[in-house]
Homo-oligomer: A and B are copies of this chain.
Amino acid sequence: MQKIRYGMVGGGQGALIGGLHRKAAALEGQFDFVAGALSSNPEKSVASGKELGLPNDRNYPDWQSMLVAELALPLERRIQAVVIVTPNHLHYPVAKAFAAAGIHIICDKPLCHTLEQAQDLIRTTRASGVIFAVTHNYTGYPMVRHARDMVRAGTLGQIRKVIVEYHQGWLATALEGTGHKQADWRVDPARSGLVGAMGDIGSHAENLIHTITGLELSHLCADLTAFGTGRMLDDDSSILLRFEGGAKGVLLASQIAIGHENDLRIRVFGDKASLTWHQENPNELIFMPLEGPKQTFSKGSSGLSAAALKASRLPPGHPEAFLEAFANLYVGIAEAIWAKQDGRTLTPLEGDFPTLQDGARGMHFLEKTVESAGSEVKWLEAKYQPI
């Protein structure tokens, strides 16, 4: 099978997430990084591409030139996919342009700034038929997949409550005035969007709930806070959730939780069993049945679901981590692109990655969260209506 040629928008010098995408894409040897417009600053863009070994003729000063030039290439040389790792405000225009042009999209989260943009992307994507992935990378962990498969198999019974928390401490002080590139754009409404911490990490938390439980929100009640002096966007949030069918939930996301590094956790309580998963110790899944001792499932061990086993490369006890989970998304994306090329249907274990629909659900959630935070209504209706 030929490697998939991809270009990247964003992710140049000083960026974190771009390098991660490149490594994740490379891990299984399914992708080739062949083109890029790596910064909104044309000089920096070209310098970054040079550093990364991009050929001169495909190292573009901006994404618009990249789109034009790539479309001018014959199909067998042209990029098949674009990875979008810019600050949030550029996700939408870039994704729309490339998707319309028939290029598959791999877009970082949160998807865009508004549900309306998300719906526009859905329509564009439907028209052109491209694959569109949103990299909620935590869903790529083997034990998240096993959690999902246990819930879906009914092992937990009827889900009653879900608690998801995402705590970080890196914005506890005013990092944004200190030349910290990522802090700068994340607290800036023009680039980050309606939300701060909620967009950056809360969107992952929401996606994790939906991925594992399949529950659809009915109402929510949000309290957003900006503890940092002068901050215009939330750096802390606490949200009560109600789901279709009667389950309840809580979502906490904060970037002022000193000492918490990347502390994403989820607990699911069913009427037959509970489970707990923690991102900083990702290779374990705690399962608690009504009777009998607490059980600790470990990555790669027998007894896991087929999807969980597929997502693991190493024997139990040989930890796999963030990058490998990220790479699992790229494995699914590659499968989807190849299947599309070959005109064949995906098998049940193929194509396991968050989609544009997940991204749109996330935008709806973020909009409703902001609306609730500013409202006197206790329970804001928040059902997502897919188009």
Contact = CB atoms under 8 A, between A and B. Distances in A.
Interface in A345-387: 375-379
A35 interface: no
Interface in A288-331: 288-298, 301-303, 313-324
A16 to B, nearest CB: 7
Query: How often does this chain occur in the complex, in copies?
Result: 4
A301 B223 CA distance: 31
A289 B236 contact: no
Interface string A207-237: 0000000000000010101010000000010
A282 B319 contact: yes
Contacts of A34: none
Given A295-B295, A321-B321, A376-B378, A316 B256 contact: no
Nearest to A258: B274
B262 A173 contact: no
Interface stretch (A19-27, A78-86, A97-105, A118-126): A19-27
A161 to B, nearest CB: 6
Given A256-B160, A269-B254, A303 B314 contact: no
Nearest to A372: B378
B288 A293 contact: no
Contact of A281 (B19, B252, B281): B281
A172 interface: yes
Given A288-B259, A378-B377, A252 B254 contact: no
A169 interface: yes
A259 B242 contact: no
Interface in A35-74: 53
Nearest to A298: B261
Nearest to A137: B318
Given A163-B252, A242-B223, A288-B259, A271 B321 contact: no
Contacts of A288: 169, 258-260
A280 interface: yes
Interface in A96-154: none
B238 A223 contact: no
A242 B53 CA distance: 51
A53 to B, nearest CB: 8
A102 B250 CA distance: 46
Nearest to A19: B313
A331 to B, nearest CB: 13
A23 B27 contact: yes
A324 B319 CA distance: 10
Nearest to A227: B160
A226 to B, nearest CB: 11
A227 B160 CA distance: 7
5 contacts: A23-B313, A161-B227, A169-B274, A221-B378, A295-B296
Interface of A: 16, 19-20, 23, 26-27, 29, 53, 160-161, 163, 168-170, 172-173, 221, 223, 225, 227, 236, 238, 240, 242, 248-250, 252, 254, 256-263, 267, 269-274, 279-283, 286-298, 301-303, 313-324, 375-379
